[in-house]
A and B are shown apart, each in its own frame.
Chain A
Amino acid sequence: MLYRIYIALIALILVSTGNMFGAIQFKQTGKWLPKGDPIYGQAGPMMIDKNNNIVGVFYKTGARLISPKQVIVLARYGQGPSDLQNFCGICDYKGDLAIYELPGKIKIFTLKDGNYTWRKNIWLKIDRNFFVEQNILFHDNKWFVAGLHYLDYNQSPSLPAAFVTIYDERGKPLKTLIESRISTETQYFQMEYFIIANKDKIFLLVENQTNVYIISAVKMYLEKNVKLEIPSFYKPMPDSFYRFKNNQGPSSPTSLEIELENWKTGYSSISNAIIDNGYLLVQIRTADKRYKKFALLFYTLDSLKLKYTLYTDDYLMAAKNGKYYFYANGNPGIDDGTDSTIINIYEWINK
């Protein structure tokens, strides 16, 4: 009996010290200090390109290409072929880069001599309803556009809206999915939507929701809505958030920007979601001074069970082949300490 207790104790010690004996660790393995154009706006969708550089859009700053040595302008602000305005989503399009420009235009850029040049436009045949879409994904020869798309703007006080609009490759509308009713008093269209491909499935996460909508990419229907396990500190969005407050009048950009900052940091909003290395990684804000700014929630891709919860002050930008790229000290335009562009690279390491 005593012998069995000894074995159990040794096993317990081994398990509890697992991190010290051969367990994997999420560790920083690289750091970029690129020079060049400053980044000062809130980060939007991003991706890692063929050359393993970061391509992303930043509110007010524009589209940028970040390499280990420099930050360069991907496209200037304007209406010319290689310019961009009202840009939001970014994704891979058959090896090229697709940037969504509101309303309804996708600009395709090709990598040439270390930077991107415009190749063509794809026009989405958009309807007459008001929409503010935030993200885009090309998968299974279709465009999946995520964001708030009102279906009938004449109804009040709440409007029917869809979170995903699907178009064929040439821009013909195919279907709208995940419908709900949104109050006209809100600015829910300011929220972020994260749309990610996982084989023949499309995952959609919404900034203020703790579930994953799983869409069949081929059949274009909502297969599942999976509730994610959330950590105990999770602070849900208060009801008053994303409602007009009009501190300095409804049309004041200053008041909107202040409110946006408060909204984004005031609750455990999802700041990014990525699939890589067998995990669905969801980064949320802790909104709690006892912790660092963000929590990284690693869910196993097959069962969507929460496996690891880690904390960081860095903002998750994108991931590729097991490397996770972070903007040091938070999201530029929202968090303090982000004046210099520093990219921290993390990996799972077997110790």
Chain B
Amino acid sequence: MKTSESHFKKNAEFYFRMTIAVLIVAILAVFILRFLYKKEHKPEAVSFINPQKTLLLSLENKTVTLEQLLINSNTLYLAIFDFRGCYSCTGRALDDLRSLQKEKKDCIAITIHDNFNDFKEWAQMENFNPIYMVKKNIFYEFIKTPYVPVIIEIKNGKIEFIRFISL
């Protein structure tokens, strides 16, 4: 009787220790994984629905499609923003594009706006080239992004990396 009681106690103690050990390993694994893998926005968060129909206006008031811009370079950095929104964020996006331009990278800025003269006056003051305007309705219909400003790295027409810019 005594032997079976002590056997039961040993078993219970073994299972208890095993459970604790498994829990500790699981918690440690979660912590390590959280530190190892930083949360990144997946490129799928941004998409171009129909680049052939996404009409943009240049500073010269000429219409181009997003598709035309995308096929012209192998690697392209595209910033999309609303210059009447958070100006600190817009400014950072443009500054980042300028830095990339210094490294001889292809960069394009696209601002969401409805008034061409307004866009032209502002763009001339900001002095960044090349820059385009996309009307709000076209932006909402054909460009899907949860947030602007966003800088998108496009390789051979495919979105490789995105970075949202905030304060």
Contacts and interface: CB of A to CB of B under 8 A. Distances in A.
A86 B114 contact: no
B121 A121 contact: yes
A128 interface: yes
Nearest to B92: A128
Nearest to A83: B115
B86 interface: yes
A18 interface: no
Contact of B115 (A79, A86, A103, A123): A79
Across the A-B interface, give the 10 residue pairs with the lowest CB-CB distance, nearest first.
A128-B91, A103-B87, A130-B88, A79-B114, A79-B115, A123-B125, A128-B88, A130-B167, A80-B115, A126-B87
Contacts of B87: 103-104, 126, 128, 131
17 contacts: A78-B114, A79-B118, A80-B114, A81-B115, A81-B117, A101-B84, A103-B86, A103-B87, A105-B122, A121-B121, A123-B121, A123-B125, A127-B91, A128-B88, A128-B91, A128-B95, A129-B88
Interface of A: 78-81, 85-86, 101, 103-105, 121, 123, 125-131, 153
Interface string B69-94: 00000000000000010111001100
B155 interface: no
Given A127-B91, A128-B88, A130-B86, 5 more contacts: A80-B114, A123-B121, A123-B125, A125-B125, A153-B88
Contacts of B118: 79, 81, 121
B113 interface: yes
A6 B92 CA distance: 79
Contacts of A131: 87-88
Interface string B90-134: 011001000000000000000001110110011001000000000
Contacts of A123: 121-122, 125
A308 B122 CA distance: 48
Nearest to B136: A79
Interface residues of B, number: 16
A340 B65 CA distance: 50
Nearest to A122: B121
Given A130-B167, A153-B167, A79 B121 contact: no
A208 B95 CA distance: 36
B95 A103 contact: no
A34 to B, nearest CB: 31
Nearest to B91: A128
A85 B112 CA distance: 14
Interface of B: 84, 86-88, 91-92, 95, 113-115, 117-118, 121-122, 125, 167
A121 B167 CA distance: 27
A105 to B, nearest CB: 8
A204 to B, nearest CB: 23
A48 B55 CA distance: 44
Contacts of A105: 122
Given A80-B114, A121-B118, A128-B91, A85 B84 contact: yes
A78 B113 CA distance: 10
A103 B84 contact: yes
A128 B86 CA distance: 10
A131 B91 CA distance: 13
Nearest to A150: B88
A104 B125 CA distance: 11
B57 to A, nearest CB: 14
A101 B167 CA distance: 20
Contacts of A101: 84
A80 B118 CA distance: 8
A69 to B, nearest CB: 33
Nearest to B122: A123
A160 to B, nearest CB: 15
A101 B115 CA distance: 15
Contact of B84 (A80, A81, A86, A127): A86
Among A79, A80, A101, A126, max chain B CB count under 10 A is at A79
A86 B118 CA distance: 15
A85 B122 CA distance: 16
Nearest to A101: B84
Contacts of B88: 128-131, 153
Contacts of B95: 128
A126 B118 CA distance: 16
A62 B29 CA distance: 55
A81 B121 CA distance: 12
Contacts of A81: 115, 117-118
B84 A79 contact: yes
B63 to A, nearest CB: 19
A325 B146 CA distance: 45
Contacts of B115: 79-81
A170 to B, nearest CB: 11
